[in-house]
């Protein structure tokens, strides 16, 4: 295949740039005194410096208050009047290892508190399947999740959700992400409300969240499909009732389909699919009725070329091949957030939890612990 | 009030500049730092600049220069400090979202000498003319032309030969 390298390069750069920096990414508050400027501040930015100084002072006082309350057993309410002088005795009894961490604002020459911007993957009013984790995205790495965990509330049909946040590296160009789920899937036909009053709250020493957000979304019918590699079939249910059993062809021995629970990420008709670099028989195809279930590139899709093997043999590159009419039906049936679970795919490898929305492959005990950051 | 409205320029140019920087340094976190520093530099002298166009060109040149020194620093750190290598240096997460052929193209671009990468990114992503690239990088139009054609020749070889 003779390709136009100019065009390919332009496309690759464009895609990389807009994938790394999404359109909804906003600039941080400009900090003119960053980079050790010695000159005088311009007047129109002077208020900023004032704000930052105030934030730094608040951070110091708040930190010493927290320490004080931890030691004395009292709790300090946010928003309570701050004492002008922190109790010096508590400073003296601080463990040495804690001292450098708690100096968020006291190390004045090191610079002001850095803002951590928060954005949400989901949008208000949308409807998702029962397996959809809530996803918060951060512009800087959060180093302490305790304040976040205390501040954020999630409700299902008006009641506290009792789920937990799981802190992960981002696959989509953010510095970090936190995913929220309950022990089991969301209840079908429910309403999720999240309140994230984070603005000004600590994200770790020297870091403060910069956004307060809310989210309201709906969960649709419970679509749970189970794919069994031994039988080469996919058993589709809605709200617990069987709907259809579809014959499939899964990944061949050299390119097996991952085991485990995957979640519908997006739908494309058609989807361009390209072989992994170095694959023996490279391909580049536009595939109709494609439902993406992993970031790494597993789809449930129409495979007209493979009809002879569908229902009897695993011959694909890892995707779940369906007959064209079945694929069209599944495409129209599926919503982002629907669940597809795989068994007996001929491999011992379970889909990694970070590959798409495969968050359900983490045990509830591990999930509650919070992963990269501790929740409690 | 100077001829350049700094705040408006910051809002309008922040995202394009971070995108340029991320293509140069291959890491979003570093890219945002680079852009912040570039705007700090502009802020110091925005009064001295004629118009928004000149200011944008100034920021772009700062982004390219700062990115180059980040990369140089990274290489020095890697050479002398084999332990505690910072994460993300060789495979930023957003690559996972790209198609295989785009990843291939970017990987091939990364193999080129820094100057050729800069020229190709400014040409194919920023859409600058040869003269504008020359002004941004502080080199002659002839060097821009030769860097571009050498870079493209290598890319043709790498990407063409893989199929």
Helices in B81-140 by DSSP H: which ranges? Answer: 100-110, 114-124, 130-137
The answer to whether residues A51 and A101 belong to one domain is: yes
The answer to whether residues A190 and A229 belong to one domain is: no
The answer to whether residues A206 and A154 belong to one domain is: yes
Q: What is the mean pLDDT of residues A283-302?
A: 87
Domain closes at, from A112, A128, A160: A112
Residue A129: CB atoms within 10 A of its CB come to 24
ipTM: 0.86
The whole-chain average pLDDT of chain A stands at 80
Higher-confidence residue of A19 and A323: namely A323
The answer to whether residues A172 and A284 belong to one domain is: no
Does A329 fall in a domain? yes
Does A241 fall in a domain? yes
What is the per-residue pLDDT for B122? Answer: 94
pTM: 0.53
Tens of pLDDT, residue by residue over A47-106, are 444 455 555 555 544 444 444 333 333 333 333 333 333 333 333 333 333 333 333 333
Does A205 fall in a domain? yes
Quick check: A225 and A340 in contact, CB under 8 A? Answer: yes
Residue among A13, A25, A295 minimizing CB distance to B96: A295
In angstroms, the CA A245 to CA A105 distance is: 61
Sequence-ordered strand ranges (E) for B55-122: none
Which chain B residue is nearest to residue A40, measuring alpha carbons?
B44
- B-chain CB neighbours of A27 within 8 Å are 10-11, 14-15
What is the per-residue pLDDT for B95? Answer: 65
Q: What is the mean pLDDT of residues A342-350?
A: 92
Q: Tell me the Cα Rg of chain B.
A: 17
Both tokens of residue A197? 């009053």
What is the per-residue pLDDT for A137? Answer: 93
Contact A32 B43 (CB under 8 A): yes
Does A5 fall in a domain? no
What is the per-residue pLDDT for A286? Answer: 80
In angstroms, the CA A84 to CA A67 distance is: 16
What is the per-residue pLDDT for A314? Answer: 92
Both tokens of residue A146? 């305790």
Q: How confident is the model at residue A328 (pLDDT cuts 50, 70, 90)?
A: very high
In angstroms, the CA A204 to CA A144 distance is: 4
pLDDT tens across the length of chain B (163 residues): 345 678 888 888 999 999 999 999 988 888 999 999 999 888 887 666 767 788 888 899 999 999 998 888 776 655 554 443 333 333 445 666 778 888 888 888 988 888 999 999 999 988 888 888 998 998 999 999 999 999 998 888 877 644 3
Q: Does the pLDDT value for residue A234 go beyond 70?
A: yes
In angstroms, the CA A68 to CA A87 distance is: 8
CATH of the domain at A266: 2.40.440.10
Tens of pLDDT, residue by residue over A183-197, are 999 999 999 999 999
In angstroms, the CA A87 to CA A227 distance is: 62
The answer to whether residues A195 and A248 belong to one domain is: no
Q: Does the pLDDT value for residue A107 go beyond 70?
A: no
What is the per-residue pLDDT for A83? Answer: 33
What is the per-residue pLDDT for A167? Answer: 95
Across A100-114, A211-225, A306-320, B98-112, least confident range: A100-114
Tens of pLDDT, residue by residue over A265-277, are 999 888 877 766 6
Cβ density class A5-44: b for 16+ within 10 Å, e for less = beebbbbbbebbbebbbeeebebbebbbbbbeeeeeeeee
Across A171-175, A366-370, B23-27, least confident range: A171-175
The answer to whether residues A90 and A141 belong to one domain is: no
Q: How far is CA A209 from CA A149, A151, A219, A331, A336, in A?
A: 13, 11, 28, 39, 29
Does A36 fall in a domain? no
The total of structural domains in chain A comes to 3
Q: What is the mean pLDDT of residues A21-33?
A: 80
In angstroms, the CA A165 to CA A142 distance is: 13
What is the per-residue pLDDT for A68? Answer: 39
Does A38 fall in a domain? no
Does A12 fall in a domain? no
The answer to whether residues A94 and A166 belong to one domain is: no
In angstroms, the CA A69 to CA A90 distance is: 9
Cis peptide before A270 (omega within 30 of 0): yes
DSSP code for A127: E
- Residue A140 near chain B (CB below 8 Å): yes
In angstroms, the CA B130 to CA A70 distance is: 63
Residues 325..364 of A with a Cβ closer than 8 Å to B: which? none
| Separation of CA A12 from chain center | 24
In angstroms, the CA A293 to CA A341 distance is: 10
Q: At what angle do helices B114-124 and B141-161 cross, to 10 degrees?
A: 90
Quick check: A257 and A250 in contact, CB under 8 A? Answer: yes
Residue among B15, B23, B92 minimizing CB distance to A13: B23
Residue among B11, B28, B97 minimizing CB distance to A27: B11
Q: At what angle do helices B100-110 and A5-20 cross, to 10 degrees?
A: 100
Q: Does the pLDDT value for residue A360 go beyond 90?
A: yes
Both tokens of residue A48? 């900023």
In angstroms, the CA A159 to CA A262 distance is: 27
**CA of A82, closest CA in chain B: separation in Å?**
33
**CA of B159, closest CA in chain A: separation in Å?**
8
Quick check: A175 and B29 in contact, CB under 8 A? Answer: yes
- The domains found in chain B, sorted by start residue, are 1-89 (no CATH), 98-163 (1.10.10.10)
Domain closes at, from A56, A91, A112: A112
The answer to whether residues A283 and A187 belong to one domain is: no
- Residue B40 near chain A (CB below 8 Å): yes
- B-chain CB neighbours of A37 within 8 Å are 40, 44
The answer to whether residues A253 and A318 belong to one domain is: yes
The answer to whether residues A50 and A65 belong to one domain is: yes
The answer to whether residues A49 and A81 belong to one domain is: yes
Alpha carbons within 13 A on the beta-carbon side of A223:
23
What is the per-residue pLDDT for B157? Answer: 81
What is the per-residue pLDDT for B6? Answer: 82
- A-chain CB neighbours of B151 within 8 Å are none
The answer to whether residues A206 and A241 belong to one domain is: no
Domain hosting residue A170, numbered range: 116-220+363-369
Does A19 fall in a domain? no
CATH of the domain at A133: 2.60.40.3710
Contact B14 A27 (CB under 8 A): yes
- A-chain CB neighbours of B152 within 8 Å are 5-6
């Amino acid at each position: 295949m003779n390709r136009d390298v100019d065009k390919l390069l332009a496309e690759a750069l464009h895609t990389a740039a807009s994938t790394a920096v999404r359109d909804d990414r906003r600039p941080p508050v400009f900090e003119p005194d960053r980079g050790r400027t010695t000159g005088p501040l311009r007047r129109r930015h002077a208020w900023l410096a004032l704000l930052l100084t105030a934030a730094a002072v608040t951070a110091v006082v708040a930190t010493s208050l927290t320490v004080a309350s931890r030691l004395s057993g009292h709790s300090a309410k946010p928003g309570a009047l701050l004492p002008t002088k922190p109790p010096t005795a508590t400073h003296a009894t601080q463990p040495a290892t804690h001292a450098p961490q708690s100096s968020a604002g006291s190390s004045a020459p090191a610079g002001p508190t850095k803002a951590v911007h928060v954005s949400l993957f989901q949008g208000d009013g949308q409807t998702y399947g029962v397996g959809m984790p809530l996803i918060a995205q951060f512009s800087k790495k959060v180093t302490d999740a305790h304040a976040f965990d205390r501040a954020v509330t999630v409700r299902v049909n008006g009641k506290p959700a009792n789920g937990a946040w799981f802190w992960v590296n981002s696959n989509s160009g953010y510095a970090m992400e936190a995913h929220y789920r309950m022990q089991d899937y969301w209840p079908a036909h429910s309403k999720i409300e999240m309140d994230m009053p984070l603005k000004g709250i600590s994200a770790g020493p020297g870091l403060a969240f910069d956004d307060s957000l809310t989210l309201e979304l709906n969960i649709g019918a419970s679509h749970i499909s189970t794919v069994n590699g031994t039988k080469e079939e996919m058993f589709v249910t809605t709200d617990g009732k069987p709907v259809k059993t579809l014959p499939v062809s899964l990944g061949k021995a050299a390119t097996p389909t991952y085991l485990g629970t995957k979640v519908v990420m997006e739908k494309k008709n058609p989807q361009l699919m390209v072989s992994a670099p170095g694959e023996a028989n490279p391909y580049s195809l536009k595939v109709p009725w494609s439902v993406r279930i992993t970031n790494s590139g597993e789809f449930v899709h129409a495979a007209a070329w493979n009809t002879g093997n569908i229902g009897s043999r695993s011959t694909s590159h890892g995707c779940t091949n369906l007959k064209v009419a079945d694929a069209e039906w599944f495409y129209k049936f599926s919503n982002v957030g629907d669940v597809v679970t795989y068994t007996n795919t001929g491999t011992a490898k379970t889909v990694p939890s970070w590959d798409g929305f495969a968050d359900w492959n983490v045990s509830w005990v591990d999930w509650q612990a919070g992963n990269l950051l501790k929740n409690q | 009030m100077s001829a350049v409205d700094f705040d408006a320029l910051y809002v309008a140019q922040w995202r394009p500049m971070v995108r340029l920087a991320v293509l140069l340094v291959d890491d979003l976190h570093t890219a945002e730092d680079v852009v912040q520093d570039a705007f700090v530099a502009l802020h110091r002298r925005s009064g001295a600049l004629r118009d928004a166009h000149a200011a944008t060109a100034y920021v772009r040149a700062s982004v390219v220069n700062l990115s180059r020194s980040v990369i140089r620093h990274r290489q020095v750190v890697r050479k002398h400090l084999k332990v505690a290598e910072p994460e993300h240096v060789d495979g930023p997460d957003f690559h996972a979202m790209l198609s295989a052929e785009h990843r291939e193209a970017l990987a091939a671009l990364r193999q080129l000498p820094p100057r050729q990468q800069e020229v190709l990114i400014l040409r194919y992503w920023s859409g600058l003319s040869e003269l504008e690239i020359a002004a941004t990088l502080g080199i002659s139009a002839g060097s821009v032309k030769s860097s571009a054609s050498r870079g493209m020749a290598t890319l043709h070889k790498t990407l063409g030969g893989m199929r």
